[in-house]
Amino acid sequence: MKQFKKCLPFLGIIFSIALGYSQEDTASVKKDSVNIALLENYNKRLSEIEKQRVEDSINKSNLEAQINALKTTDNLKKEELQAQLTALTLKEKTRIANKKAKIDSLKNTTQGFPVIGFFNDTLFVLYSKLGSFSPKERADIISERIKKLVNNYDFKANSLKVEDAETVKDIVWDSNIIMSISETDALWNDTSKTELAEVYREKITAAVLEYRDQTSFATLAKQIGLALLVLLVIILLIYYISKAFNWTAHKIQLQENQKIQGIKIKNYVLFDAKRQVNALLLANKLIKWFVILIAVYIALPILFGLFPWTEHFADTLFGYILNPLKNILMSFWNYLPNLITILVIIIVFRYALKGISFLKDEIAKGNLTINGFYADWAAPTYQIIRILVIAFMFIVIFPYLPGSESPIFKGVSVFLGFLFTFGSAGSLSNIIAGLVLTYMRLFTIGDRVKIGEVTGDVIEKSSLVTRVRTAKNEIISIPNSTVMNSHTINYSSDAPAKGLIIHTTVTIGYDVPWKDMYEVLIEAALRTDLVLKEPKPFVLQTSLEDFYVAYQINAYVREANKQATIYSDLHQNIQDVCNERGIEILSPHYRAARDGNATTIPSDYLPKDYVAPSFNVKTKTEDKQT
């Protein structure tokens, strides 16, 4: 019972939807206005035709009277009158045929006005006016007259009669005319006035008798009993549905840390056991209420269908689900040709990309050579072509997408394009710079480069940035547009083939012969690991300063990425060889006074009997003659 009480708000919502009056929208009102205008225009023309018909009918009666009054010997006059009568008869047939053709043309575009029965059901539909009454007024008046018939307790199956009038057939109760049926009514229903009158008489009689039967005490008692039974079934159904889902919730809780142990993706715990149990309990609760609502939704039309006053609500409720499903299925069926076309286009472009990918792989592997096209261009070029092909595919597919002609769809597309263009201006410049860098071939992954003030090994080239690892193991990300606007030094590009020249400068005083320094520096270079023996290292004198000479040692290496280690070893070897040869490496601003001062060479390189020189003083004596 508690679960049923919780469902009462939902029942109220559904019941209010079923009983609510929907407002007419603008399109519906406009459609009714057009329909009324068509019928009024037709009925106006019909009135003119009717006047002509009355005149022809009077003339026809006069001719028939004249023919009957003629003597049998007056054959010529009789033939003349008969010819006129035949012409009027032919004119009448032509009039009816034209009238029928006009009605047939209006059937596809015109809606009639229904005559409503006792349970808001439509008994039949009227299209034509009669006398001063429009079709709508006729339908309303006839509906009211039919509803008054139930007040006559002596009404029986044969109480209604069909009587002839001047130009119509009347359906009569006692001495009251319920409705009149004209020739136009018969033409709208493709029958004669007599047959149509009999059909309408039977429908009215059946409606009155059915209402009496449905509103009898025995019938109402039966319907109320069935309604109570349906309500009882609904309550029991909700109770057992709730009980079943409560049982499943209890079973879920018992499986925590047993069968339910959480969800893991490799080493990452997406859901632990507790969270997974809570998620399953929430899903169980949602499914329970969904099933309850479906059960109530199905039961309500059955309940409404028990009473004739609410029987049409059942169709309305089912229509809320069936009509959208029907529309979805019909839309899908109508869209199916376009969907097949889109699939064919996607398949064609997919295999086109596979063919281009095959050429890319062949060029990258060196199996296919194109003059002026480098193998490392294959992958980026393929990505560019792939983007262009996919963009072209979307252009081809776009007209086949549902709603592609909608102004809203086009407006959203333009808005997204605007946001992408102005929101990613900086990113687009980096992407374009990345493409240009690829085809400039400034560097590849692993090259030792210097970009602006940053020196290191290239570890990544993406569409937006270039990442460099420095000798201190720092990762520096440089935007591609910055790389384009900076000067770039590549130490590795020619190192494997031609060798990279490393160089360093040593300043030595003029007291050391330059030939000795050449030998010292070359020997130091040859002692250094990773320095090539061929080509042989060489020395350049870069400047002759006031107190020293600048000597630059140049040596070839192939491992551009190990420059720091090579330079360090080279500097150590220069110191060692200079010390071994007794050459002091002095600062440009340092002057050595040898009297009384020890040499700057480390003691490890000096003889064991080395003694610092003493301070020397020279005197000059002069002999004086007296």
Q: Which of 568, 561, 616 is nearest to 594 (CA)?
A: 616
pLDDT value of residue 3: 36
% of the chain surpassing 90 pLDDT: 20
Q: What is the pLDDT of residue 43?
A: 61
What pLDDT sits at residue 423? 54
pLDDT of residue 496: 86
DSSP letters along 271-310, please?
A: E-HHHHHHHHHHHHHHHHHHHHHHHHHHHHHHHHTTSGGG
User: Is a pLDDT exceeding 50 seen at residue 9?
Assistant: no
Say yes or no to pLDDT of 22 above 60: no
CA–CA separation, 24 and 22 (whole Å): 6
pLDDT in tens, 453-462: 899 999 988 8
pLDDT in tens, 291-321: 988 888 888 777 777 766 676 666 677 777 7
Confidence of residue 277 (pLDDT cuts 50, 70, 90): confident
Mean per-residue pLDDT of the chain: 78
Q: Which span out of 153-157, 373-377, 470-474 was modeled with the highest average pLDDT?
A: 470-474
pLDDT of residue 532: 93
Under the banding of pLDDT at 50, 70 and 90, the label for residue 6 is very low
* Residues sharing a CB contact under 8 Å with residue 271, sequence separation 6 or more, in sequence order: 262, 263, 279
Q: What is the mean pLDDT of residues 343-369?
A: 90
Whether the CB-CB separation of 480 and 430 falls below 8 Å is answered with yes
Please name every residue paired with 449 in a beta bridge, in sequence order, or none if there are none. Answer: 456, 490
Tell me what pLDDT residue 262 has.
Answer: 77
pLDDT value of position 55? 63
3-state secondary structure of 125: strand
Report, as an integer, the average pLDDT of 477-496.
Answer: 87
Identify whether the C-beta of residue 123 lies closer than 8 Å to the C-beta of residue 206.
no
Residue 520: what pLDDT?
94
pLDDT at 521: 95
Q: If you average pLDDT over residues 146-175, what whole number do you get?
A: 81
Q: What's the rounded mean pLDDT across residues 548-554?
A: 93
The CA–CA distances, whole Å, from 592 to 2, 508, 589, 596, 615 equal 107, 12, 10, 11, 14
Q: Which of 12-21, 175-184, 426-435 has the highest mean pLDDT?
A: 175-184
Summarize pLDDT for 45-95 with one digit per residue, the tens. 656 565 566 665 666 666 666 666 665 556 666 666 667 667 767 777 777
Average pLDDT score over residue span 409-419: 68
| E-assigned strand segments in 313-388 | none
Residue showing tokens 């990113």 = 427
The contacts of residue 517 (CB under 8 Å, 6+ apart) are 506, 508, 539, 549, 551, 583
Residue 399 has pLDDT above 80, yes or no: yes
Beta-carbon contacts of 111 under 8 Å, excluding residues fewer than 6 positions away, are 35
Q: What is the pTM of this model?
A: 0.43
pLDDT higher than 70, residue 584: yes
What's phi and psi for 591, nearest 5 deg?
-120, 130
* Confidence tier at 17 by pLDDT (50, 70, 90): very low
Q: Which of 213-227, 555-569, 612-626 has the lowest mean pLDDT?
A: 612-626
Which residues lie across from 553 on neighbouring strands?
504, 539
How many CB atoms sit inside 10 A of residue 200's CB?
23
pLDDT of residue 266: 72
Residue 34 has pLDDT above 70, yes or no: no
Top-confidence residue, 258 or 220? 258
CB 538 within 8 A of CB 499: no
pLDDT above 50: residue 23? no
> Can you tell me the distance from the alpha carbon of 210 to that of 202, in angstroms, rounded to the nearest whole number?
12
Predicted confidence band of residue 272 (pLDDT cuts 50, 70, 90): confident
Helices (H) and strands (E) in the chain, counts: 16, 15
Q: What is the mean pLDDT of the segment spanning 275-286?
A: 89
